[in-house]
Structure 1
Amino acid sequence: MVARTLESTNKTDRPVAYTVLEMLLTYQDEGMTARSRGFGFDTNPFLVKERLPQTTGEPVGDWRQKAEAWLFGWLLENAWTTEFD
């Protein structure tokens, strides 16, 4: 797999290169955190109108990877949480 990198910034505003895999794992973690805090799957931040590809011009495939990574994290946490409820 070719490791593409995406530029981001951390809290010190220094550029940090993320591979696509690292970025997707971050979105999964955010989805898991949302579920553990009691938020529903419909709080996926990629479903907000301002982040839809029709608004941002982002390629649909890239947007879909992010949205599905977040949802996958949410579903993982949901499966773990509901197992013990």
Structure 2
Amino acid sequence: MTIEEMIDLQERGARARAIGLALSDNPFLTAGHMPVHGREPTADWLARHDAWKFGWEAEHASREGKLPIHSTYHTPVVFRSRTARH
């Protein structure tokens, strides 16, 4: 799967959540998209399934107000020396 395809699937998952579809409406859970033994590697199918699911979950989290706060962002603190002249 290319990066463009992954992004497209994430966007499709987000749009699906935005229009009210359930997580279980993931198109990769339908019989036509399920991997058939010997035709498509399961890892490829799983990557597509997970990309769509990720988009759906991200949109769901944003609508529920549960977006994670990025823990590595810190407001810089500026210390001034007591001996510094202003």
Cα RMSD (Å) = 1.9
Superposition pairs of residues 2-17 of structure 1, within 5 angstroms: none
1:65 aligns with 2:47: yes
Q: Identify which of structures 1 and 2 has the higher relative contact order when contacts are C-alpha pairs closer than 8 Å and 6+ apart.
A: 2
Normalising by the residue count of structure 1, what TM-score does the alignment of the two structures yield? 0.72
Q: 1:49 pairs with 31, 34, 44, which one?
A: 31
Structure 1 unaligned spans of 5+: 1-18
Following superposition, which runs of at least 4 residues in structure 1 exceed 3 angstroms of deviation? none
- Summarize deviations over 1:24-43 as a string: whole Å, max 9, x none: 00000000000000100000
Letter in 2 for 1:36: A
Q: Equivalent pairs: percent with the same residue?
A: 33
Indicate the residue corresponding to 2:8 in structure 1: 26
Cα distance in 2, alignment partners of residues 21 and 44 from structure 1: 19
Question: Whose Rg is larger?
Answer: 2
Normalising by the residue count of structure 2, what TM-score does the alignment of the two structures yield? 0.71
Structure number having the greater strand percentage = 1
Contact 1:28 1:74 in 2 (8 A): yes
- Say how many residue pairs are matched: 66
Q: 1:80 pairs with 44, 62, 67, which one?
A: 62
Structure number having the greater helix percentage = 1
Structure 2 unaligned spans of 5+: 67-86
